[in-house]
Amino acid sequence: MDGRGPTGLHIAIIMDGNGRWARARGLPRVAGHRAGVETVRRVVQAAPELGIGTLTLYAFSSDNWQRPQAEVATLLRLLHEYLLAETDSCAAHGVRVSAIGRRERLSRGLREAMEVAESATAAGDALHLRLAVDYSAREAIFRAACRFYKVTEVSRASFAQVLAEVNRDGAPDVDLLIRTGGEQRLSDFLLWESAYAELLFTPRMWPEFSAEDLAAAVAEFHARERRFGRVPDAAAS
């Protein structure tokens, strides 16, 4: 964690189901991805009022490079368009934007849009919006381990700091990880940070996910008992 930004819950979301949502409606997959961008806008707008301080969205995984070239180009173009369209609004509403993951394989234009968004929104204190792009948790952990031998203080906290440097950004551990689309796996997303995260898998496709769905997920999180390896208070007495 880098010590900046708002307090509150850290919610991470695997935004799955865009393609299946589109196919079910006889639409091309790109239509699902475009609809998914609108969901991002809804969720970002709703997050601060739900007590969410950090929102990490899995925008493009390192494994997504294996998809058809046309779909990869579409996904990255939509991300570029989102940053161009939303940076000013995010700055005006106190949303700090940052990107985690590798950047060297991205286009120059997309990298520049990320840098502009990060600079323009750096003072945001209502929500920290983190976009995971060309991201792999295993790769990030591996790269952090390769650097860790240079660290004088050997501790979990110091390793987490090195991992944050690899990711170009740090954040608190994940409180709640949501995956839409019905699949029940983490898909190489925030493995270190989600060690004690509550998990919520919903069959709702990402383009259908609403502010009300996010509120329901947060309410379910608050209803759960988080023990972190300890026994419940009642059992301990």
Catalytic residues: 16, 64
Chain-centre distance of CA 15, in angstroms?
Answer: 9
| 3-state SS string for the chain | CCCCCCCCEEEEEECCCHHHHHHCCCCCHHHHHHHHHHHHHHHHHHHHHHCEEEEEEEEEEHHHHHCCHHHHHHHHHHHHHHHHHHHHHHHHCCEEEEEECCCCCCCHHHHHHHHHHHHHCCCCCCEEEEEEEEECHHHHHHHHHHHHCCCCCCCHHHHHHHHHHHHCCCCCCCCEEEECCCCCCCCCCCCCCCCCCEEEECCCCHHHCCHHHHHHHHHHHHHCCCCCCCCCHHHHC
Tokens of 135: 């991201």
